[in-house]
A and B are shown apart, each in its own frame.
Chain A
Amino acid sequence: MNTDTRTLAVGALTRVEGEGALNVTLVDGTVHSVELNIYEPPRFFEAFLRGRSYTEPPDITARVCGICPVAYQVSACNAIEDACGVTIDPELVMLRRLLYCGEWIHSHALHIFLLHMPDFLGYPDAIEMAKDHPELIERGLALKKAGNRLMEQIGGRAIHPINVRLGGFYSTPTSAELAPLAEMLRRALDDALYTVRKVAEFDFPDADFGHELLSLSDGLSYPIENGVIARSEGEPFAVEAFTSHVVETQVPHSTALHATLDGGRYLTGPLARYSLNRDKLSATASQAAAEAGLGRQCRNPFASIVVRAVEVVYAIDEALRIISEYRRPVRPFVEVHARSGAGHGVSEAPRGLLYHRYEIGDDGIIRAATIVPPTAQNQAAIEHEMGQLVAANATLDDDALTSLCERAIRNHDPCISCSAHFLTLTVERR
């Protein structure tokens, strides 16, 4: 019997963070296999945290990622404070949330304008797009700068902040120091609202891949710096139960572990966060979402750019709220004394739920560490989406199919460097 074999190869998947590849095999037009290859070397963070002091993970794990270091710092702090039985002051929690808002604004603006928007406007990259749409890139850079300024003020610097420590911060800002940020954020809010209206005009292919959704939920506000774990098809569970539900396994084609939720495929990130917490948005963000046509849920990954834009509005609005209510904390940090035990910590990185777990000895030395980043959790869902998209579009020529797959991967803003603690695309038809 004759078989139809076609092979597509792309040098490297662009506009994602890190290095990786996608291999798709089609036999007689039917998808035979889809493998998201994360070949960036494993980085052994969990291994070299063992034997270090319990005070070090917030600074060490921040180095996992230059885009979302605050997520690593906050999840690490949450986990170690849990292990040591410490609850930090509410004012310090709000300052962490304010710092985290800066990271959401910066990371989402980078992805929306510089990585994702060229797909919708038909450009190969942001530089080509800037030649025809300089005003859009300028808005994106202005938003990104606003997020960076917030991180610099609270965290000491925008990349790998230096002011975060267990129990809180090394120093806290005065109200007078935050006042100029509020003025900058009010201007940024106009840019963010414009962004929602602009991206809502884009054409989105219809898509719903039926993933279960997983996100934090804190009951009161849109989840950022902590919460319980909510899911679309089941009861929420406490962070301590994370590894009972989420199981990581090795796959031969990736240096990042794959994860399942109670044995099934699931998705974390903006779509999950929005769909499980729509009613927790601020009035301004909620109105922007409604005007953009987002319903109670959004499960279409192609429309994730709209959800990210709404989340930028929320993060700015939330930052303004926190600043307006800010009173300098009576102490910059709560003492965290080492004690023997294990602790769990979660927070919502821009790309989704980030879980940390540490075991600490009574000497304050870390015995074991587990880090489960969002992109690793999303690998199986991304592979599933690629299989569905290739099957539905197998008649497209190789270039068009490759372009569609790259675009669909960018929908998830994968941070391959984080997941390997990833993309070259190969489609084989035979």
Chain B
Amino acid sequence: MKKLVIGIGNSFRRDDGVGLAVAERIAALDLPGVSVMTSDGEPAAIIDAWAGVPTTVVVDAAVGEHTTRGQIRRWTPDEAALPSTTSSHAFGLPQAYALGQALGRMPNRLVVFTVDIADAALGTGFSAPVAASVASAVDAVLTELTVDAPEGRRSRSP
């Protein structure tokens, strides 16, 4: 596996499912050399999946102050901090990233896309701005998958 897409979220918490929806659309394309997984944000499984993978693209929902519902944001580990993504449990992408770094189990290249959300209430279906962002998020992931990863950086196989 050279490239991995991880969609994180909970499809029963409304807009929190956006990462899963994007991942499912990528999976449906059945791209050669690209694996897709969905996750509830549990760090161990995420670390296990991305360790040593040349390129990993993660899609998750994000909440916070000064957010705009449906806004897609791109993050890389070189930036100051990963965003506060949502999780129905206490664990999520930031913990997976911190634990993966502490253990030296990271992909060679990690790109995170977040979609700003505001509604993570119980239920299915997205708000209109988040639903409208899915296609753009898929395009953004596909574009990242065309970029080759640098060789042998930051990775240690499990």
Contact = CB atoms under 8 A, between A and B. Distances in A.
Interface of A: 14, 66, 126-127, 130-131, 134, 137-138, 141, 144-145, 148, 159
A141 B47 contact: yes
A141 B102 contact: no
Contacts of A159: 40
B118 to A, nearest CB: 21
Interface in B98-125: 98-99, 102-104
Given A126-B99, A127-B99, A127-B102, A141 B89 contact: no
A130 B89 contact: no
6 contacts: A14-B90, A127-B95, A127-B102, A134-B104, A144-B44, A148-B45
B103 A145 contact: no
A148 B103 CA distance: 20
B40 A137 contact: no
Contacts of B104: 134
Contact of B48 (A126, A127, A137, A145): A145
For the complex of A and B, the 10 pairs showing the least CB-CB separation, nearest first, are: A130-B102, A127-B98, A131-B102, A141-B44, A134-B103, A127-B99, A144-B44, A130-B103, A130-B99, A127-B102
Given A14-B90, A126-B99, A141-B48, 13 more contacts: A66-B40, A127-B95, A127-B99, A127-B102, A130-B99, A130-B102, A131-B102, A134-B104, A138-B103, A141-B47, A144-B44, A145-B44, A148-B45
A423 B99 CA distance: 24
B89 A66 contact: yes
Helix, strand, loop or mixed for chain B's interface?
helix
Interface of B: 40, 44-45, 47-48, 89-90, 95, 98-99, 102-104
A126 B43 CA distance: 11
Contacts of B47: 141
Contacts of B103: 130, 134, 137-138
Contacts of A148: 45
Nearest to A15: B90
B102 A134 contact: yes
Contacts of B89: 66
Contacts of A14: 90
Nearest to B90: A14
A159 B10 CA distance: 13
Contacts of B95: 127
A406 to B, nearest CB: 14
A291 B124 CA distance: 52
Nearest to A129: B102
Most chain B beta-carbon neighbours within 10 Å: one of A66, A126, A127: A127
A144 B43 CA distance: 12
Contacts of B48: 141, 145
A53 B48 CA distance: 39
A134 B40 CA distance: 24
B143 to A, nearest CB: 31
B13 to A, nearest CB: 13
Contacts of A134: 102-104
A130 B95 CA distance: 12
A137 B103 CA distance: 8
A126 B99 CA distance: 8
Nearest to A137: B103
Nearest to B45: A148
A62 to B, nearest CB: 14
A372 B47 CA distance: 35
Contacts of B44: 141, 144-145
A134 B48 CA distance: 14
